[in-house]
Structure formats: structure tokens, C-alpha cells
Amino acid sequence: MKIAILSRDATLYSSVRLLEAAAARGHEARVLDPTHCYMNITSMKPSIHYMGENLVGYDAVIPRIGASITFYGTAVLRQFEVMNTFVLNNSASISRSRDKLASSQLLARKGIDLPITAFAHNPDNIEDLIAEVGGAPLVIKLVEGSQGIGVVLAETHNAAHSVIQAFMGLNANIMVQEFIQEAAGSDIRCFVIGDKVVAAMKRQGREGEFRSNLHRGGTATLVRLTPQERSAAVRAAKIMGLNVCGVDLLRSKRGPLVMEVNSSPGLEGIEKTSDKDIAGLMIEYIEKNVGKNKSG
């Protein structure tokens, strides 16, 4: 097979591992920077070009589209879909996953347990917003953000009011969520491929840091999932329409709570922690599904 990996950096761990895994299984893979792609949008003969080259003959696309280029990256991916190329995650599901508010609303509608989340636009509603999530401490999140950027823990009522007011003053779209104290600065990343969790790790924030992201200095250890946690992760992935994703869970007194569904999860942390060939499993999934659903 001929596989395109949409990524802005061919030297990233995830890009390198996917290239290695594809080669190990006898496939031809190539990293393409989506910002260097341009498209001819026509019903007669749609095409994608890359630095002057017409991209033809690709059997599958692995999107590794960063949050900063979601709009253009998904447009490039959508063009591959127009050309009936199999895509590991489709453009609509990636766009959906990048909007934390829309994701939360969709998951809640389908019965997935989440941290209590509130959303408002008018500063007059700040007090009610704080009360909706049970008061401080609480978490304030930018609706669009990744790797823990734009996530703030407000430990007191006054701090919560001030931070929310400041974000609203900047016309930033934010969500306010209850703080799950018993999680103790940790979460669980479940790596889902198809209809199963293939690996999981517990991420622990460094001392004094409530965000557990590895990019923020957190550490990772192997974790054994409960059947309830495994089911929640697979259901969340399916609801979001993602074939491959990272589902982040919090362990709470009322059971697992889905915090976020990441459509482009990094491979380094999960592979090194689990000692599993996650990249190889992704290529294997493509092998099994190319041709079944050409539109992705």
C-alpha cells in the first residue's frame, strides 16, 4: 500500500514510528506537510498537489493534524476523502473533536459521564456559572486548546470569578468544569483503535501541577482498566466517529468521567509506557479496512 502521513514534522516520534511500522509491513509511506498541499476542487477530476507534485495513487491517509492548523489540515484531508482515499480518521470527526464544547455536548447527549460542565457568554452569569459546577475549586478551559494549554485551576471563588471575567473580556470561549479532587492530579489515557482499547497509561502531574499532560512535565505508568473504564473509552471514540484516538478519563467517586477525546494522540508516551507497537497496530487497522469503506 501507499500511505500518506499528514504531519508538519517528519522528525517527530509519532511520524518516525509510523514510517517505520509501515515499512516493516512492506508498505510505502511518506510524510506530507498539509500546509504545503494545495487542491483542485472539482467534481470532474479532484486533485491534491504537494510542492508542484500531483499526489496520486495513495491507498490510505493517516492524519496527524495539529490544533493550530485544524481548518486547513482538515480541508486537505477532506480532499483525500473526495478522491475516495481511505482515511484513518475522517475530517468531520477531527473537527468535532477539536471543539471541546461540542464534544462534551455530543458525549453528554449519548449518555457518557463527564465532569459537570457549564458554559456562558455574558459576564452577568459568572456567579451562576460557578454555582453550576459546585463552586471553587474549579477548572476553566479554553474551548479550543491542546496539551494542557489554556486550562486553569481556580482554587477560590474570587480567583474563579476574576479568571472567568478576564477570559470573557478577551472574548475567549471558555468552559467551566468541576474539579475532581479525588483524581489527585492524575488521569488515564486510553488508546483506542477500532473497537478496543489497545493500551492505557496513568498520567500523573508533577508536584504542584494539576494538569497531567506529559508535555507539562507529567509522568506515565501502566494502569489496569476496569471494564467500566474500557467501555467508556470505546463508546466515547465511537460516538466521536474516531477510529484511532486517545480518550482521557478521570477516576471519580461516581465512576470514570470522560475528560477529552484526542483525535491525534502522541505515540511516544503510550508506546514507551506500555511497550506495545501502537504504530504497527495502526498500520494493521488500515490493512484490514482499506477497500471496505473507501469514503473513510
Q: Helix, strand or coil for residue 216?
A: helix
Binding residues for Mg(2+): 248, 260, 262
| Domain boundary, last residue among 127, 152, 179 | 179
The average pLDDT across 82-95 equals 96
Listed in sequence order, the residues at least 6 apart from 181 whose beta carbon sits closer than 8 Å to its beta carbon are 137
Lowest mean pLDDT among 103-107, 198-202, 214-218, 270-274: 214-218
Judgement on whether residues 36 and 75 belong to the same structural domain of the protein: yes
Number of folded domains in the chain?
A: 3
Judgement on whether residues 7 and 85 belong to the same structural domain of the protein: yes
Q: What is the pLDDT of residues 28-84, one digit of tens each?
A: 999 999 999 999 988 788 999 998 899 999 999 999 998 889 999 999 999 999 999
Judgement on whether residues 233 and 171 belong to the same structural domain of the protein: no
Residue 162 falls within a domain, yes or no?
yes
pLDDT at 210: 55
Residue 140 falls within a domain, yes or no?
yes
pLDDT at 295: 39
Q: Helix, strand or coil for residue 194?
A: coil
Q: Residue 169 sits in a domain of what CATH number?
A: 3.30.1490.20
Burial of 164 per CB tally in 10 Å (0-12, 13-18, 19+): buried
For the cut 50, the answer to whether the pLDDT of residue 294 exceeds it is no
Judgement on whether residues 173 and 187 belong to the same structural domain of the protein: no
Count Cα atoms within 13 angstroms, Cβ side, for 242.
33
Binding residues for ATP: 141, 178-179, 187, 211-213
Residue 148 sits at φ, ψ, to 5 deg, of 85, 0
Cα separation of 100 and 83, whole Å? 29
pLDDT at 16: 98
Judgement on whether residues 163 and 194 belong to the same structural domain of the protein: no
Judgement on whether residues 244 and 196 belong to the same structural domain of the protein: yes
> Residue 130: beta bridge partners?
none
Q: Residue 229 sits in a domain of what CATH number?
A: 3.30.470.20
Q: Helix, strand or coil for residue 189?
A: strand
Q: What is the pLDDT of residues 156-180, one digit of tens each?
A: 999 999 999 999 998 888 889 999 9
Under DSSP, the state recorded for 252 is: E
pLDDT class of 13 with cuts at 50, 70, 90 = very high
Judgement on whether residues 13 and 35 belong to the same structural domain of the protein: yes
pLDDT at 173: 87
Residue 268 falls within a domain, yes or no?
no
| Domain boundary, last residue among 146, 163, 179 | 179
Judgement on whether residues 7 and 84 belong to the same structural domain of the protein: yes
Which range of residues forms the domain containing residue 242?
182-263
pLDDT class of 217 with cuts at 50, 70, 90 = low
pLDDT at 17: 98
Residue 276 falls within a domain, yes or no?
no
Residue 100 falls within a domain, yes or no?
no
The average pLDDT across 263-291 equals 95
Q: What is the pLDDT of residues 219-271, one digit of tens each?
A: 889 999 999 999 999 999 999 999 999 999 999 999 999 999 999 999 999 99
Q: What is the pLDDT of residues 176-213, one digit of tens each?
A: 999 998 888 889 999 999 999 999 999 987 665 555 55
Residue 96 falls within a domain, yes or no?
no
pLDDT at 212: 53
Q: Are 212 and 186 in contact (CB under 8 A)?
A: yes
Bond from prior residue into 137 cis (ω within 30 degrees of 0): yes
Judgement on whether residues 11 and 60 belong to the same structural domain of the protein: yes
Q: What is the pLDDT of residues 128-166, one digit of tens each?
A: 999 999 999 999 988 876 555 778 899 999 999 999 999
Q: Which amino acid appears at position 194 of this protein?
A: G
Judgement on whether residues 243 and 166 belong to the same structural domain of the protein: no
In the chain the first and final C-alpha atoms are separated, in Å, by: 16
pLDDT at 296: 38
Binding residues: 141, 178-179, 187, 211-213, 248, 260, 262
| Domain boundary, last residue among 160, 179, 198 | 179
Q: Which residue has the cell 516520534?
A: 13
Residue 192 falls within a domain, yes or no?
yes
Binding residues for Mn(2+): 248, 260, 262
Higher per-residue confidence, 274 vs 149: 274
Judgement on whether residues 135 and 203 belong to the same structural domain of the protein: no
Residue 292 falls within a domain, yes or no?
no
Instruction: Single out the residue of 291, 222, 193, 212 nearest to residue 259, CA to CA.
Output: 212
pLDDT at 185: 82
Judgement on whether residues 134 and 159 belong to the same structural domain of the protein: yes
